Amino acid sequence: MRRWVPALLLVYAICVPPLRAAEQVDLIVHGGIVVTMDPQQTLVENGAVAIRAGKIAGIGSTATVLKDFEAPQVIDARGGVIMPGLINAHNHAAMSLFRGLADDRALMDWLQNYIFPAEAKLVDEAFVRAGTKLACLEMALGGTTTYVDMYYFEHAVAEETAAAGLRGVLGQTLIDFPAPDYKTWDASLAGCDAYLAKWKGHALITPAVAPHAPYTLTPEHLQAVKQLADKHGVPYVIHVAETAAEVKTIGERYQTTPVVHLDRIGILGPNVIANHMVHANDAELLLLKKHGVGVAHCPQSNMKLASGIAPVPKMLALKIPVGLGTDGPASNNDLDLWEEIDTAAKLHKVATGDPTVVSAREALAMATIDGARAIHQADKIGSLEIGKAADLIIVGLDAPHQTPLYDVYSHLVYTTKASDVRTVIVNGRVVVEDRQIKTLDAAAVLKQAREYRERISAALKK
Amino acid sequence: MRRWVPALLLVYAICVPPLRAAEQVDLIVHGGIVVTMDPQQTLVENGAVAIRAGKIAGIGSTATVLKDFEAPQVIDARGGVIMPGLINAHNHAAMSLFRGLADDRALMDWLQNYIFPAEAKLVDEAFVRAGTKLACLEMALGGTTTYVDMYYFEHAVAEETAAAGLRGVLGQTLIDFPAPDYKTWDASLAGCDAYLAKWKGHALITPAVAPHAPYTLTPEHLQAVKQLADKHGVPYVIHVAETAAEVKTIGERYQTTPVVHLDRIGILGPNVIANHMVHANDAELLLLKKHGVGVAHCPQSNMKLASGIAPVPKMLALKIPVGLGTDGPASNNDLDLWEEIDTAAKLHKVATGDPTVVSAREALAMATIDGARAIHQADKIGSLEIGKAADLIIVGLDAPHQTPLYDVYSHLVYTTKASDVRTVIVNGRVVVEDRQIKTLDAAAVLKQAREYRERISAALKK
């Protein structure tokens, strides 16, 4: 009998394929068209993504992924697209409580007679928490997984954003007048320093500095903030060249243009996120390129406030990384990135007279992988690739307005709405499932926002 | 005892209020903010509308309407707005089957290499029925109750639109080359004549003539169509001054500009609906005003095709009636009027550099009462007034993107989405209730559209 054992083992080894157990992961999303936005622009017709420990562990055809991986949670994405979550490159989230407060006014009237008085009277930490929650609710339901913020009490924004399960590059505002959170320059700089130290290294939150603009901070203060950013290795978020009035002011004060001014005082660098960049000339675009500055293009805000049309086709030609931002909900008036994508694709066609510029694919890239580049996070987010963070969304493609389907990029840009977003996953966590938010008490958030409306209206009547 | 009778009657007459039975109506919609768009811009905070025989029988506070009227059907609009249905002033509905077929191409490449070949190979009556159903489904769900169409086989469009329960001004296309429906000029004129005769007086459908454009019909043919329109008393729908190329062609052929050309040959008049009107100079605007021509402004189509930006603020200053159109879904690529309203309000601000032009209220008017004027139906639709057709929609106002609420016009223009439309009533009939279409088999319509996609893709590969 003993002599048979080796022979039996040999037969077994030949006939039974090597046992390779399916790899254990946390979550598999399968059955949708996977739009990876990777460098090869890979599309998988019936594809799947495996997620482990907040990261993408596998991507491929549904058959392959279901063979190679096993997970306790499986989400069916049939009839939809699986794609990277959207990146909102410029926002003032808490201003959601001011949305529609005073539209169709000249910028200075709007700011001086409505927004600044309202902020002075009402913005405190509790306000910022309530407004951030409302904004996170809207963003999550619309498929935004990462946003860049610039406001006051940014530690509160960070706490609420992390609690909502979204990813944020959250910039503490610094400005040369008393702000709702800090009344002096030294206090704001110290507060910002503490904020950066506390949040560095968080899985979802990248703390940042947000000096308001070249015309609202002295060169010395802009430089002091730059040193702070460099000390902590964090992004430097700033409004630049938003309006013709700003260009005029900078010209009068410094005999140059905003981007050149920032270059001269040593601000430009590969950690800078420059918001708007509407009035940049060709030489300035070359400076942005040279220093690796990212641009947050905000087409709808720039239209509504009549700021102008940013030279985006030129930026794309120079391969300057351009992301898309909504700007704050007080000036847009929503946080719907799908409308920004659609508008970006259309606005530059009419502005240049060329219907081939800013293609659907380029517009979608601005809200995903190019947006990630613009906010200096492309190593981590913006595309579906193995090893990147599992920030992805399932977008239904079967609504009447998306039927029939010829080209998935075209539909994602020109016909898809926020309401088509079904499921949202950030860092591997399901934040929205079948249009239901899992991380916030939506009814409570809306109720609180309505209570603030009463207070804000009453305060402005006084 | 007899002497007490008059005294008792007197007591009764004094104490019991005169019995006034509540008026019987078919349907009451109550509890929403009623945005009437009437000449006084009346808003009713907690209001209601009573509907009888397809017309508005009463409007007022919910308390008053529920006291004065009684109906077997009552719809609760709490948390929403009750407002006139939207009017899409320019569409080629059946082209929904081509949506996204070939984007981001120069107009002539797109037309000559994709759309014209596809139309020549595929457009027949069945195609038009399938495409019209798909478009009606999308429009109804998004709150559009009336649309102006221009396509082939328009009798089929009329039948499908009436069956879907929408209101239409439906123009039979006439053009100086063989069309999918009629191969000769005489046949198209005779066919159009029969179409107009058959549909005149229909409760929902206003048949119309739709000569394609000043550059695709001879002056004699444009005039022959005008005579046909005048004979039947129907609208004359035409593309005018859409592109710089058209202006050039008309200049070369007739040594003048498109509007002046049409004026010289006697086309302009109070039944004309002029689509696009992008390249109209000041003198031409005065001609439009003088003749009572309505304009269908299509901001997103004009942007996407790089046609230009229509001088809408000037038109509004001259009180030329301006409506909003999506244009066909092959060029936009959806039939979402909310996005056109938002875009119209924003585009002209950036184009003029003035954030006060095209206010939210003006933009909303373009999609309702001014749209009705532009398509010459303001006696019947466009506002909620007693005696007008009961074309109204309930729009939810409680989504995160609409919270909080300061100004209802601002929210309807800058934040409301098609997905916020809950219920749609046309001519007193409930077409959509709680986001469910009642007049079409949605699944069958989508299935058929997907089958056409296969045929269209295959035909274009040959």
pLDDT at residue A106 in the model: 77
User: Is residue B6 included in any domain, yes or no?
Assistant: no
Q: Are A54 and A390 in contact (CB under 8 A)?
A: yes
- The pLDDT tens digits of the residues spanning B105-138 come to 877 788 788 888 888 889 999 999 999 999 999 9
- Rounded to the nearest 5°, which phi and psi values hold at B206? -105, 105
| One domain, residues B39 and B102 | no
pLDDT at B15: 54
In a domain, A12, yes or no: no
**B342 contact A CB<8A:** yes
Does A46 reach chain B within 8 Å, measured CB to CB?
no
Same domain, A182 and A272: yes
- Using CA atoms, how far residue A240 sits from A162, A247, A276, in Å, is 28, 9, 6
Beta carbons of B157 and B126 less than 8 angstroms apart: no
Residues in A touching B334 (Cβ below 8 Å): 401, 414-415
Strand partners, A297: A324
Identify the weakest region by mean pLDDT among A126-140, B92-106, B379-393.
B92-106
**Do B217 and B262 sit in the same domain of this protein?**
yes
A441 CB near a chain B CB, below 8 Å?
no
Of B134, B347, B401, which has the smallest distance from its Cβ to A403's Cβ?
A: B134
Nearest CA-CA distance, residue B318 and chain A, Å: 20
Same-domain check for residues B298 and B226: yes
Residue for token pair 């959250």: A170
Boundary residue ending a domain (B374, B401, B422): B374
pLDDT in tens, B27-59: 999 999 999 999 999 999 999 999 999 999 999
| Per-residue CA distances from A293 to A310, A315, A321, A373, B184 (Å) | 15, 11, 8, 10, 61
The answer to the question of residue B70 being in a domain is yes
Q: Indicate whether B314 and B425 sit together in one domain.
A: no
Distance, CA of A73 to CA of A57 (rounded, Å): 14
Which residues from chain B sit within 8 angstroms of residue A96, using beta carbons?
403
Residues of B in contact with A360 (CB under 8 A): 103-104
A417: domain CATH number is 2.30.40.10
Judged by DSSP in three states, B20 sits in coil
The backbone torsions φ and ψ at residue B458, rounded to the nearest 5 degrees and listed phi first, read -65, -45
Residues A191 and A172 occupy one common structural domain: yes
Contact criterion met (CB below 8 Å) for A210 and A271: no
Q: What SS3 class is residue A274?
A: strand
User: In this model, does residue B1 exceed pLDDT 50?
Assistant: no
pLDDT higher than 60, residue B275: yes
Last residue of a domain, one of A325, A347, A374: A374
Cis geometry, peptide bond prior to residue B333 (ω within 30 degrees of 0): yes
Give the residue on B whose Cα is nearest the Cα of A103. Answer: B410
Interface contact flag, B414 A342, Cβ < 8 Å: no
Contact B404 A305 (CB under 8 A): no
pLDDT at B331: 85
Q: Are residues A153 and A55 in the same domain?
A: no
Q: Which of B400, B445, B450 is the closest to A141 by Cβ?
A: B400
Whether B411 and chain A come into contact, CB under 8 Å, resolves to: yes
Residue B114, chain A, CB below 8 Å: the answer is no
Cβ neighbours, 10 Å, residue B244: 14
Q: Is position B240 within any domain? A: yes
Query: In sequence order, which residues have a C-beta less than 8 Å from that of residue A107 and are 6 or more positions away?
Result: A243, A245, A305, A306, A307, B355
On whether residue B9 sits in a domain, the answer given is no
Confidence grade of residue B462 (pLDDT, cut at 50, 70, 90): low
Q: Is residue B175 part of a domain?
A: yes
Could you tell me the residue range of the domain that residue A127 belongs to?
Answer: 86-374
Segment B394-442, tens digit of pLDDT = 999 999 999 999 999 999 999 999 999 999 999 999 999 999 999 999 9
CA distance B145 to B143: 6
Interchain contact B108–A (C-beta under 8 A): no
Same domain, A163 and A225: yes
Query: In DSSP terms, which residues pair with B377 in a beta bridge?
Result: none
Residues A195 and A294 in one domain: yes
Quick one: B181 and B158 in the same domain? yes
Cβ–Cβ under 8 Å, residues A296 and A275: yes
- The answer to whether position A360 is within a domain reads yes
Residues of A whose CB is below 8 A from B418: 401, 417, 419
User: How many CB pairs lie under 8 A apart between chains A and B?
Assistant: 193
Identify from B335, B406, B446 which residue to disrupt to test chain A contact, counting A C-beta atoms within 10 A and taking the largest count: B406
CA neighbor of A350 nearest in space, from B330, B366, B301, B111: B301
Instruction: Name A210's bridge partners.
Output: A173
Do B63 and B38 sit in the same domain of this protein? Answer: yes
Number of structural domains chain B divides into: 2
Instruction: Confirm or reject contact between A401 and chain B (CB < 8 A).
Output: yes
Under DSSP, the state recorded for A59 is: E
Closest-CA distance, B439 to chain A, in angstroms, reads 15
Tokens read off for B400: 């995160």
Phi, psi for residue B99 in degrees, rounded to 5: -60, 130
B271: left (phi over 0), alpha (psi -120 to 50) or beta: alpha
Crossing angle for the helix pair B154-164 and B125-141, to the nearest 10 degrees: 40
Q: Specify if A251 maps to a domain.
A: yes
Q: How many helices (H) and strands (E) does chain B have?
A: 18, 19
Find the CATH number of the domain harbouring A217: 3.20.20.140
Q: Is the CB of residue B129 less than 8 Å from the CB of residue B135?
A: no
At residue B460 the predicted structure's pLDDT band, cuts being 50, 70 and 90, is: confident
Do residues A139 and A90 make contact, with C-beta atoms less than 8 angstroms apart? no
Tokens read off for A75: 């989400």
Give the length of chain A: 462
Encoded tokens for B297 = 């402004």
Q: Is A104 on the interface with B (CB under 8 A)?
A: yes
Residue contact B407–A100, C-beta within 8 A: yes
Q: Choose the weakest-confidence range: B7-16, B108-117, B209-218, B297-306.
A: B7-16
By the 10 Å C-beta count (0-12 exposed, 13-18 middle, 19+ buried), A45 is classed as exposed
Residues B91 and B60 in one domain: no
Q: Which of A304, A343, A446 lies at the smallest CB-CB distance from B400?
A: A446
Integer-rounded Cα Rg, in Å, for chain A is 24
Give the integer Cα–Cα distance in Å for A287 and A289: 5
For chain A, 462 residues long, the average pLDDT of each consecutive 10-residue run is: 56 55 96 98 98 98 98 98 98 96 82 83 96 98 98 98 98 95 97 98 98 97 98 98 96 98 98 98 98 98 96 98 96 95 98 97 98 98 98 98 96 98 98 98 98 91 72
Phi, psi of A296 (to 5 degrees): -105, 105
